[in-house]
Structure 1
């Protein structure tokens, strides 16, 4: 949807191919984890408002909550971090946000949805010139060899994208992929929200250096005030500590977490069942490492990179990929040429998210690599900046700018931040 919004500024016609568009409004099969708690980080919120002016007001009028300053709470090892006034987060479920985005996109005169599934690419020489598809309309499933011509094809098929296989079948290289096995499990439950925690919109708790990042010593979890007067609560765990479906055990784990989650566990009524999901590994496809790549083709969202969801980067990565595509097209690049400018832009975004998530994941004892060059030094410095961020608002602002993808992780290695970190910890 975000890519379609960007393309609408440059194309005569934008066609979205969705297999489930005819039966569920296009929000079903492609996102099996859609009921889990999702976060729209500050940078994602900024980009969403830029693409859809006024959408924040629409979401809030529909029941979403906007959290700023002390309403957005981060805990490390059970300790509440200093307030970051610039942090702004939207409390809403993913389906609710997508419904509003979808409505805005489909209201554009040059955008339409076709109930169909892409089966292969169509080539004209060294560029992609269309898509071979099969219709998903009832009674038309036999039309498996229809072709849709296009000046630019966007792969938004997610982490299980078949693009690599299609490229190989047409004589092109498959993009190399980096993987990191994290073996994460998480579970989300909804609770009816009343007068408790009136000043809280987001609360997020994670283990840190004081607990040596051990989940059993510092229970990880989060909650968000969402539409429908509900709390969305997620609990996470690695390896053999993954949360399950049992609502009683879910509450027990909430009571071992930070104060906001404990209060919801004690005061609020469960609304529905506990939904679980498993995330085995982070992965990213490295398109810039290909020597040759066809023109007329770009890739967005999880089809480029899918990182550990505990850090809430997925929706914001999708928004930043869309704005990278916008910048590429605004540069005057021809859609028929290889989109190297786009892939360079999106690589910078993905590399930042990958560095943040995988460096943190490697602190878990069951995660065995691959380790980046200089990992020990990165981990040593990162532990100290994290510890200082719990105490000092200046260090925490720099830390939260990175968490919310307003800054690259290298911002935490700036001399003034490292020097202040050293002073803060020396005075502790």
Structure 2
């Protein structure tokens, strides 16, 4: 695979798949934003610089997110923006040209991007998560190889591991040197616009992860991500894997065809990805609240039939009350989510991976579950209640607020939040820690 990303030259076909209710709306203005040349700027180096760069990117993404979302545009241009801005390699090792940042800072970068475009924030968060696959599951040599490959080339990750579908099936080549993956996944977030795809399949009862090139003859994308409600820009459509060959040496964590287990450490990708979800929910809520407040200051009119008519909408007591309540909840959620991020950091970056205990892993998982519960409830409240303080005109397509609620409402259905509440409840009542599953 060359270092030239297919997304540099592949055309954007606009709406794909079958027509939807949103596609029936006539859209005059398609995405026309020209992004600045970040390649000519110094790359960010410190955590603060990366977060500031993420804010710059979010402001650019916010300019046309409503149009791109409505048109179901495939975000080739936006992923290239993440690369040019240096965000893709933020967590990569410094020795290979990366920022060398830890996962808790990655969450904050993801969150800033999600404030401008929830779909792109999700894709970046998934990229950061999957970039740790080799570190969490693989040998030290495999982890170093994959870190070098993606960092030096600015490669972007996707994955075909949706556990609600049947597992990909793996067979061995006749000479015993290769694993051959076959199967289909109904959802494969980001793979269509990625450079590398994480595969997970089963061979003789053993689950085997491997990382392969996203654009090859044996990988076909269904172009069927025509989701009406939200997260349209993630292009989370189906993927079909046909006779995709990877060498046994790429089977993460296997040495001489035998898996080298790391105990509880092997299971921490699950709470790590749950906190990815939580952070882009929070980022979407932050973006919605900030944009709504600007709209209210500029556009919301006072109610003319009140006993005490205010000069401007911002003078209305109920407007001040709602914004104060929403901001207080968002600030509290941010502190809770950041604390969970530190917990994940302390697990994933420990030097002795095998020293991680099931209890340490469980304590972090329950904190992540609690943060996710709060993020969904507060995110849905913020993205729906802002309309009460903006006024009826804010529902227009031109105002561009609807994607905030639609995105959180859509992705928060990923796995039932009721089970996350129950996990926290069992911990409170019985001291029971969550057992590792594909969703815990």
**Shorter-chain TM-score: what band?**
under 0.3
TM-score by length of 2: 0.26
Structure with more relative contact order (C-alpha pairs < 8 Å, separation 6 or more): 1
For normalisation by structure 1, the TM-score amounts to: 0.26
Compare the two structures and name the one with the higher helix fraction: 2
